[in-house]
Amino acid sequence: MDIALFLDFDGTLAEIAPRPDAVQVEPGLVADLERLRDRLGGALAIVTGRPVSVIDGFLAPARLDAAGLHGVERRVGGALSGGGAEDHPELRRQVERLHAESRPLADVLIEDKGASVAVHWRLANAEDAARAEALVKDAAEALGSAYRLQLGKAVGEIVPAQATKAHAIRAFLERAPYAGRRPVFFGDDRTDEIAFASVNEDGGIAVRVGDGDTVASRRLPDPAAVRALVRMWAEGGRIDPEALPPA
């Protein structure tokens, strides 16, 4: 099958950790991704809410094609574009506000990504978690239509309105070596559903990792199953996403 493969990172290739910087990458994963990229003629990219630079740190020494910050920045063939914090002065003011107003909240983390910001409350108690969610909703409302709020697993992220993983995947599909191929996207969160719908519309295959309602047509139970599939495909196994279990 002549496919273009797009992979989320957190919750898809690696298990979600209590803190974003605590994620562990399984030994051998980077080599498997590089080998699979070669089998696919280069048509493999990471599509994530993380900055591309952070993904590079986790997947060093590899420098895979990647879309970061939900598509605000994109690297193809080594050329990186987008993602500058200096282009988002209104967002920067809200980031400062979020830092200030979240200080009294225990175990609430503000993850400043430059061109986007995420508020994490996975470790917070119920009361502080509710307050953290309210804070990020207020900040998003203050920014207006130029930005949008994405709610995920104990996280709310404010991103530029035009940035979606769906947009990022379609942008990849306009360029070699992705052009003319069938898109296949693996993701795990509510924020991935827009991309699943887009991939479905484009005749591709969307794969949900984990449980939950989804528009994806296929499902794998957890990141360990994704890594096992990547390894099998990298080692020469038949690349057939249609054979995966139905969602």
Q: What angle do CA 224, 228, 229 make, to 5 degrees?
A: 120
Distances (CA, A) of 139 to 90, 91, 93, 115, 136: 10, 9, 10, 14, 5
Closest CA to 52 of 31, 29, 12, 82: 82
**In sequence order, which residues have a C-beta less than 8 Å from that of residue 220 and are 6 or more positions away?**
186, 207, 208, 209, 226, 229, 244, 245
3-state secondary structure (DSSP) of residue 208: strand
Question: Mutual orientation of helices 223-234 and 29-39 as an angle, nearest 10°?
Answer: 50
Q: Is there a catalytic annotation at residue 8?
A: yes
Closest CA to 91 of 24, 169, 20, 163: 163
Closest CA to 116 of 135, 93, 88: 88
Provide the β-strand partners of residue 4. 183
Catalytic residue among 8, 32, 65, 192: 8
- Rounded to whole angstroms, the Cα distance separating 138 from 50 reads 22
3-state helix, strand, coil in the chain (%, to 5): 40, 25, 40
Which of the residues are catalytic? 8
